[in-house]
C-alpha cells in the first residue's frame, strides 16, 4: 500500500515535467509527509471540444465514489488494488472514465522488524523510497466526483459544490521493495502516460487489457530505499528532515 508520500516539487516544475496545458494549482509549501485527506497535485486529461487538455490541479486524497453517502469512505479508499480496479464497485467507473497521475517525490513504507529480546511486540521501521535519478514518480491514480450535500456545503469540496478526490493504484512489490512491504504504488513510465490518461468514455476489451497491462511493478533499478526517522509517524511533521537517512541506512 501507500499511506504517506512526499510532494516537494512545485506545481510549476510538475506542469513542465508532465507536459501540462492548464495549471490550476498555485505554488505552495513542500510537504514531506502527505497524509490522506490532503489536497494533492493531480494530472488529468480533460476532453474539450475536439481536443484534450492536460490539467494540473488539486484533488483530495482518498477516493469518494459518486454513490457514497458521506465522504468518510475516502479514508478507506486511499489505495486501489490493481487486481480489482476493473471489478470493484468503488473503482470500476473511475477506471473506465477517470484515470489520473499523482506526482510524488518519493513514498514511505514501514518494514516489520523482529521483536526485541524479552518483548513480543513487533516493530516497524520507516523507510523512504525514491527514484535514483531524482525524477518525480508518476503514480497511476483514479479520481471521482461527489456532490456535496447542503449540510456540508462550504466545509468540503470546491466552490462549485463538488468534491473531487483520488486514489493511488497499487500492485505487488518488485524484488527490491518486497523485503520492506509486499505492495507498492504503480509507477508509470513516461511512455505510458498518454495511454493511461486518455479520457475516452468508452473502452473496448482490448483497451481495458492494455490499461491493466500497465499496472505492474516498476523496475528495481529505478529506486533506492533507506531508513528514516520515526518522526514520519507523526502527521504533524512535514519538514525536509523527514527524508534524511538515519545512519548508514541504505537498503540493497
pLDDT, tens only, 122-131: 778 999 999 9
The per-residue pLDDT for range 212-223, each reduced to its tens digit, is 999 999 999 999
Domain 5-105+138-218 maps to which CATH number in 1.10.10.10, 3.40.50.150, 3.90.1680.10, 3.65.10.10?
A: 3.90.1680.10
At residue 115, the pLDDT reads 67
Which residue is catalytic, options 16, 22, 109, 135? 109
| % of the chain exceeding 70 in pLDDT | 94
Phi-psi region of 118 (alpha: psi -120 to 50; beta: other; left: phi over 0): left
At residue 141, the pLDDT reads 98
Residue 208's alpha-carbon distances to 6, 72, 82, 144, 212, in angstroms, are 30, 29, 12, 18, 6
At residue 108, the pLDDT reads 98
Could you confirm whether 2 is annotated as catalytic?
yes
At residue 120, the pLDDT reads 60
Could you confirm whether 116 is annotated as catalytic?
no
At residue 194, the pLDDT reads 96
At residue 16, the pLDDT reads 97
Task: Grade residue 104 by pLDDT with cuts at 50, 70 and 90.
Answer: very high
Least confident of 87-101, 109-123, 175-189: 109-123
* Mean pLDDT to the nearest integer, 211-240: 96
Q: In what helix (H) or strand (E) does residue 90 lie, and over which residues does it extend?
A: helix 89-97
DSSP 83: T
Q: In what helix (H) or strand (E) does residue 5 lie, and over which residues does it extend?
A: strand 5-7
Statement: residue 103 has pLDDT above 80: yes
Q: Between these two residues, 50 and 252, which has the higher pLDDT value?
A: 50
CA atoms within 13 A on the CB side of 196: 26
Q: Taking the domains of the chain in order of start, what are their residue ranges?
A: 5-105+138-218
Task: Tell me the C-alpha distance between 65 and 58, whole Å.
Answer: 17
At residue 81, the pLDDT reads 98
Amino acid at each position: 500500500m501507500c499511506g504517506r508520500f512526499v510532494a516537494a516539487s512545485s506545481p510549476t516544475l510538475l506542469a513542465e515535467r508532465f507536459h501540462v496545458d492548464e495549471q490550476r494549482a498555485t505554488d505552495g509549501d513542500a510537504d514531506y509527509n502527505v497524509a490522506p485527506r490532503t489536497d494533492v497535485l493531480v494530472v488529468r486529461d480533460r476532453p474539450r471540444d475536439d481536443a484534450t487538455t492536460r490539467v494540473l490541479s488539486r484533488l483530495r486524497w482518498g477516493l469518494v465514489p459518486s454513490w457514497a453517502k458521506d465522504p468518510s469512505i475516502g479514508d478507506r479508499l486511499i489505495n486501489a488494488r490493481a487486481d480489482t480496479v476493473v471489478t470493484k464497485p468503488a473503482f470500476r467507473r473511475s477506471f473506465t472514465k477517470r484515470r489520473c497521475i499523482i506526482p510524488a517525490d518519493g513514498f514511505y513504507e514501514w518494514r516489520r522488524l523482529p521483536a526485541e529480546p524479552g518483548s513480543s511486540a513487533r516493530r516497524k521501521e520507516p523507510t523512504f523510497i525514491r527514484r535514483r535519478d531524482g525524477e518525480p514518480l508518476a503514480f497511476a491514480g483514479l479520481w471521482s466526483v461527489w456532490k456535496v450535500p447542503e449540510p456540508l456545503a462550504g466545509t468540503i469540496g470546491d466552490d462549485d459544490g463538488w468534491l473531487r478526490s483520488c486514489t493511488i493504484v497499487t500492485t505487488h512489490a518488485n524484488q527490491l521493495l518486497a523485503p520492506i512491504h509486499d505492495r507498492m504504488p504503480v509507477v508509470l513510465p513516461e511512455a505510458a502516460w498518454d495511454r493511461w490518461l486518455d479520457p475516452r468514455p468508452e473502452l473496448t476489451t482490448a483497451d481495458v487489457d492494455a490499461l491493466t497491462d500497465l499496472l505492474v511493478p516498476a523496475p528495481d533499478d529505478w529506486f533506492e530505499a533507506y531508513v528514516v526517522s520515526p518522526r514520519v509517524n507523526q502527521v504533524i511533521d512535514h519538514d525536509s528532515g523527514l527524508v534524511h537517512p538515519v545512519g548508514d541506512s541504505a537498503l540493497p
